[in-house]
Structure 1
Amino acid sequence: MAQILAPTSQWQMRITKSSTTASPMTAKMWSSLLLKQNKRGPTKSSAKFRVLASKSEGYTINRLEGLLNLDLTPFTDRIIAEYIWIGGSGIDVRSKSRTISKPVEHPSELPKWNYDGSSTGQAPGEDSEVILYPQAIFKDPFRGGNNILVICDAYTPQGEPIPTNKRARAAEIFANQKVIDEVPWYGIEQEYTLLQTDVKWPLGWPVGGYPGPQGPYYCGAGADKSFGRDISDAHYKACLYAGINISGTNGEVMPGQWEYQVGPSVGIEAGDHIWASRYILERITEEAGVVLTLDPKPIEGDWNGAGCHTNYSTKSMREEGGFEVIKKAILNLSLRHTDHISAYGEGNERRLTGKHETASINTFSWGVANRGCSIRVGRETEKQGKGYLEDRRPASNMDPYIVTSLLAETTLLWEPTLEAEALAAQKLALNV
């Protein structure tokens, strides 16, 4: 069961694992303890109070809270910067901290830093130094104050992007003037699943068993329908604090599964914000004692998988006549379906089966308001004749730098042959 995440007070009480008869620390009990302390006169330290409090049934005091919540701002200009990067698997986030002499406003003010790439699967042991380049800054919701989170990408000492650095290639595409002129917007729906720590089984599910079938859990409320709301809400607020462009959250179809949305974001910012939000979610689940998984199909059988649907539009799509531009983009996407699928996340074949609100991984399709298609166009877009498309193929563990830049490349920079375009147009006409 996840611990409820809430702002902690200096004297927060927690139940120990050995307690079986503990009762909540009531206001009356607190008053009694404080009264006893006051009658004895001022104490030289807080030790006596801690002893008194720890004698109440099954409760201990987290003695680190005071230090963890220290506000350094009145005492020093120095701040803590948490450098965050993507590890060798392409989905794991790594981080380490360093002291910066004063608050900063732009990544260019931060120094480059190195790490041991041989320990993250990104460099050989005999030449293990990898260099971090700061790229985006967010406020740190864990340390508060002027402290920051820093999204970085990774390079060799010679300045070449390492193979797992997908941000560098995405930045090149988004720096293309044709792409810049079209101001690509992204809204990314990140689904994820919460697992119990020891058994790696979804949160709220009976160990070794299954809950009732899907139906009541999507956007549901109640102890028998919603599992992990405290984590979702804590993550929501932490992202807003950090400056991440999070736009909403909801419980998903499979119990123990949640979704949050980031956007609309422009260009490379979409990837930076998703990776920062994933890091924050990892940290919150760490503190709550729950395991986060971005596996696209964490439970086999009649259960929904986890995707990362990517809503996309360009300036031309958002203007009058944009629906025809959207259709042309869909045509291009149909011709590069294999390229996109291969880049849309590991294990996606277990999710894209044609069931559970997905299209088959082997067949490209599109439709209006159809969640069983590769590309969905909303009713409002059809009605207004302009708007956006939703690519429903990306898996929950996709790399947002790859997906966002590939969408821009395919729809704005790539040109099919006339023969291929004509054939694809015929197929899509039959599909609709």
Structure 2
Amino acid sequence: MPKYKLEYIWLDGYSPLANLRSKTQIKEFAAFPTLADLPQWNFDGSSTKQAEGSSADCLLKPVGVYPDSTRKNGVLVMCEVLLPDGSPHPSNTRATIPDDEGAWFGFEQEFFFYKDGAPLGFPPGGYPAPQGLYYTGVGFESIGALARDLVEQHMDICLDAGLNYEGTNAEVAKGQWEFQIFGKGSKKAADEIWVARYLLTRLTERYGIDIEWECKPIRGRFGTPLDWNGSGMHANFSTKHMREVGGKDYFEKLMGAFSKYMDEHIAVYGPDNHMRLTGLHETQSIDKFTYGVADRGSSIRIPHVFVNNGYRGYLEDRRPNSAADPYLVAGRILKTVQSVPTA
């Protein structure tokens, strides 16, 4: 039987943003393993801020399996972290999401390529031209020499893995890009965002480039008052009721619930979001909740098709930032939606 390289992937206990960790186990299988074939494994939680040295074992429970086209017989295994008794570890944010097969999420993950302490393409000791030509840009002046190659490789690896990768584009700042992941089921898109983040971070190792997930990396860090757009992770969401029934009355009650739980949402929408949600650069101020049709400066953007279809379909929460945990984002949105009666 062939031997497969199982790359077990999990989130560590660091805060405010967990790091991705992984290690390889070799197992024989007659064919590409299914999720049911994969055993639980363990790791030293004292080295990942998830346990004390006197009782260091944590368990890895496989929750997703994907082909890894970068390795012969490679397998990507997304895992939840469990305590030794089999209960969810306190760092296991995936376990906090209500299960709902009818909940669909689409995440727009923005990020910066970074090299030598600055966004990729920044001239040494200086700054590129202001924002304007970079968004969906083409050519060396707008994109640079390496970023598109990295994005194309990442896209191919994600598609080979079976991730529901829906698109990518250069973003508004030099060195900034975005990719989109969609999933049906309350946990699927968040699982795949984490796997896609892992693949991108691993891919850049060989190029000496880092991925900066921070939501506002270009500010006083460079000794200037530059105030460029930050990085978001806009969350598009719907439930079966939103898609099939909806209605203006239900929508207004839903927006009332989002307003009521504004602070609970902001608390899990990523660190330092006050630096990004300033009311400028297509954001609403962090201390306000608004919604509007096609309004990119609102907290929740309402697509025209949603209104034209009798207030049915999906909505876009524009507040989550690029460093947010998609498990926490999906869980909070779903809990708020579920708080609104559908009858």
Q: Same fold (TM over 0.5)?
A: yes
Task: Give the distance between the partners of 2:209 and 2:61, measured in 1 at CA.
Answer: 31
Q: Write the distance in 2 (CA, Å) between the matches of 1:88 and 1:318.
A: 36
Secondary structure of the structure 1 residue equivalent to 2:316: strand
Structure 1 position 120 matched with structure 2 position 48? yes
Distance 1:238 1:322 in 2: 40
Offset, 1:233: 1.0
SS in 2 for 1:231: helix
Q: Deviations over 1:337-386 (max 9, x none)?
A: 00010011111111111111111111111111111111000122222222
- Larger relative contact order (Cα-Cα within 8 Å, sequence gap ≥ 6): 2
Which residue of 246, 261, 271 corresponds with 2:190?
Answer: 271
The equivalent residue for 2:25 is 98
The AA in structure 2 aligned to 1:109 is D
Secondary structure of 1:192 counterpart: strand
Residue 136 in structure 1 maps to residue 64 in structure 2 = yes
Instruction: Trace 1:420-431 onto structure 2 (pairs within 5 A).
Output: none
TM-fit CA distance, 1:120 = 0.8
User: 1:296, CA displacement in angstroms?
Assistant: 0.4
Q: CA RMSD in A?
A: 1.5
User: After the TM superposition, which parts of structure 1 deviate over 6 Å for at least 4 consecutive aligned residues?
Assistant: none
Matched, 1:77 2:2: yes
Q: 1:399 aligns with which of 325, 334, 343?
A: 325
Whether the 8 Å contact between 1:104 and 1:110 is mirrored in structure 2 is no
Unpaired segments of 5 or more residues in structure 2? 220-225
Indicate the structure with greater helix content. 1
Residue in 2 aligned with 1:420?
A: none
- Aligned pairs for 1:368-387 (under 5 A) are 368-385=293-310, 386-387=312-313
Superimposed CA distance per residue, residues 43-95 of structure 1 (whole angstroms, 9 cap, x where no aligned partner):
xxxxxxxxxxxxxxxxxxxxxxxxxxxxxxxxx51111000000122431000
| Compared CA separation, residues 224 and 107, structure 1 to 2 (3 A) | same
- Residue 206 of structure 1 aligns with an amino acid whose one-letter code is P
2:279 corresponds to 1:335: no
The match for 1:213 is 130
Task: Report 1:266-305 matches (<5 A).
Answer: 266-300=185-219, 301-305=226-230
Give 3-state SS (helix, strand or coil) of 1:285's partner.
helix
Structure-1 residue corresponding to 2:96:
169
What amino acid sits opposite 2:95 in the alignment? Answer: A
Equivalent residue runs for 1:16-95 within 5 Å: 76-89=1-14, 90-95=17-22
How far apart are the structure 2 equivalents of 1:324 and 1:256? 43
Relative to its length, the structure with more strand (as a share) is 2
Q: Does the CA-based 8 Å contact 1:316-1:322 persist in structure 2?
A: no
SS at match of 2:335: helix
Tell me the residue number matched to 1:156: 83
Larger radius of gyration: 1
Aligned amino acid, residue 230 of structure 2: G
The residue that corresponds to 1:255 in the other structure is 174
> Kindly tell me: are residues 188 and 324 of structure 1, through their superposed partners in 2, closer, same or farther at Cα, counting changes over 3 Å?
farther
Tell me the matched-pair count: 329
Q: Deviations over 1:363-415 (max 9, x none)?
A: 11111111111100012222222221100010101111111121111111467
Deviation at 1:324, TM superposition (A): 4.1
